[in-house]
C-alpha cells in the first residue's frame, strides 16, 4: 500500500502536471471505483485544478468551487501519467482523468477492487474522509505519545492505525521499529520515556528520509514503480538477508496477507518471535533464540 512517502511523491509529481490545468474529461472503466453520487463525478469536468493535498494515505485534488476528488489507492492501486487520451485497455485500468498535456490513469493489480474514488464539496465534507490520525511529521513528542497510548496495543499495530497515526503502513513501520531498536510486539504502554522518544525520532527520521528521496526522484520522472519493497530498506521485505547493522538474518512474523520483518539481535534481545504458521508447525522445535536458529 502506498504510504506517506509514496503519496507525497505522487503529489510532488502531479503538482507541475495538473495544478492550474483544466480537467477535460473523466473516464471510468469500473463503476465500483466511485463511492459517492453527489456531487456527480462529471461536475469536475471543465474545472481548473487549484491544489493538491495528502490526507493520510489519500490524495485529494481540489478544483474551482471547493470541489474535491479524493483517491484512496489501498493496497494495489497505482497512478500513471500517460499521453493525452491514453486508452483504458484492460480490467486493471480503472479510470482516467484527461488534461490537455496528459492523462492521469488509475490501475489496480489483482482481482480485489479496493481502490476508492470520492467526490465531495467543501472543507467539511473533505475533513469527513480523514480517519483522524495525527500527522507524524507535524506533531511533537507529547502528541505522538498520547496517540500511541490511547490503547495498549503493540507498537506495530498502533503505528499502522490510521485513527492514531496518519500515513504509516506495514513497510515503513518495519523500518521505523528497526531504527528505534524496538520489538514489533512491545506494548505501547510498556514503553518508558527513553523508548518513546527513540520511537518518535525514528518515525520522523525514517519518514523524512524516504519522503525526501522519493520526492526528489519524482521531480525527474513520474513515480511509475511505487512498491513497498525498496532497495535500501533495512528489514522490510528482506527476510533471511543480513541486517545492515549487525548482519543477523532478518526474521518475520506472517499473518493473513502481510508479514512483519525484524532483526532479532537489534530489536528483540536475541529472541525469536513466534511465527503463527511456522512455529505452529514446528512446535517444540521452533528456535526461540538466534543461537538456536543458527544451530539448525
What pLDDT does residue 258 have? 79
Residues 149 and 275 both lie in one domain: yes
What pLDDT does residue 236 have? 97
Report pTM. 0.92
Residue 116 bridge partners (DSSP): 72
What pLDDT does residue 89 have? 83
Domain holding 48: CATH number?
3.20.190.10
Last residue of a domain, one of 127, 156, 173: 127
Last residue of a domain, one of 66, 97, 127: 127
- Over its C-alpha atoms, the chain yields an Rg (Å, rounded) of 21
Q: Domain containing 116: what range?
A: 4-127
Spatial strand order in the sheet of 116-121: 49-55, 58-63, 67-72, 116-121
What pLDDT does residue 110 have? 84
Peptide bond into 39 cis (omega under 30): yes
Which of 92, 99, 32, 29 has the alpha carbon at shortest distance from 61?
99
Residues 227 and 102 both lie in one domain: no
What pLDDT does residue 290 have? 52
Compute mean pLDDT per 10 residues along the chain, 296 residues long, and list them: 96 98 97 95 98 97 98 96 93 96 95 93 96 97 97 93 96 98 96 98 98 95 92 96 96 83 96 66 46 46
Are the C-beta atoms of 200 and 212 separated by less than 8 Å? no
What pLDDT does residue 244 have? 97
Domain holding 157: CATH number?
1.10.8.50
**For residue 125, with 0-12 CB atoms within 10 Å meaning exposed, 13-18 middle and 19 or more buried, which class applies?**
middle
Last residue of a domain, one of 63, 93, 127: 127
Residues 113 and 200 both lie in one domain: no
Are the C-beta atoms of 189 and 149 separated by less than 8 Å? yes
Amino acid at each position: 500500500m502506498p504510504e506517506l512517502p509514496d503519496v507525497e511523491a505522487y503529489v510532488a509529481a502531479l503538482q507541475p502536471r495538473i495544478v492550474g490545468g483544466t480537467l477535460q474529461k473523466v473516464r471510468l472503466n469500473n463503476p465500483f471505483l466511485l463511492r459517492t453520487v453527489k456531487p456527480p463525478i462529471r461536475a469536475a469536468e471543465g474545472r481548473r485544478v487549484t491544489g493538491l493535498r495528502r490526507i493520510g494515505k489519500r490524495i485529494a485534488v481540489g478544483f474551482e468551487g471547493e470541489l474535491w476528488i479524493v483517491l484512496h489507492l489501498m493496497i494495489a492501486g497505482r497512478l500513471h501519467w500517460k499521453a493525452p487520451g491514453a486508452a483504458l485497455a484492460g480490467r486493471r485500468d480503472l479510470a482516467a482523468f484527461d488534461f490537455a498535456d496528459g492523462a492521469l490513469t488509475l490501475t489496480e493489480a489483482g482481482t480485489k477492487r479496493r481502490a476508492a474514488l470520492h467526490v465531495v464539496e467543501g472543507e467539511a465534507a473533505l475533513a469527513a474522509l480523514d480517519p483522524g490520525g495525527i500527522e507524524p511529521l507535524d506533531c511533537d513528542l507529547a502528541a505522538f505519545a498520547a496517540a500511541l497510548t490511547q490503547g495498549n496495543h503493540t507498537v506495530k499495530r498502533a503505528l499502522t492505525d490510521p485513527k492514531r497515526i496518519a500515513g504509516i503502513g506495514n513497510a515503513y513501520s518495519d523500518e521505523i521499529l528497526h531504527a528505534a531498536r524496538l520489538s514489533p510486539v512491545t506494548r505501547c504502554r510498556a514503553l518508558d520515556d527513553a523508548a518513546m522518544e527513540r520511537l518518535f525520532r525514528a518515525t520522523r527520521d525514517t519518514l523524512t528520509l524516504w519522503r525526501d528521496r522519493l520526492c526528489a526522484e519524482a521531480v525527474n520522472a513520474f513515480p511509475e514503480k511505487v512498491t513497498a519493497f525498496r532497495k535500501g530498506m533495512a528489514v522490510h521485505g528482506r527476510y533471511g538477508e543480513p541486517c545492515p547493522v549487525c548482519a543477523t538474518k532478518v526474521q518475520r512474523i506472517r499473518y493473513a496477507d502481510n508479514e512483519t520483518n525484524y532483526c532479532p539481535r537489534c530489536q528483540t534481545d536475541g529472541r525469536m518471535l513466534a511465527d503463527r504458521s511456522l512455529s505452529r508447525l514446528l512446535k517444540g522445535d521452533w528456535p526461540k533464540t538466534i543461537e538456536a536458529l543458527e544451530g539448525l
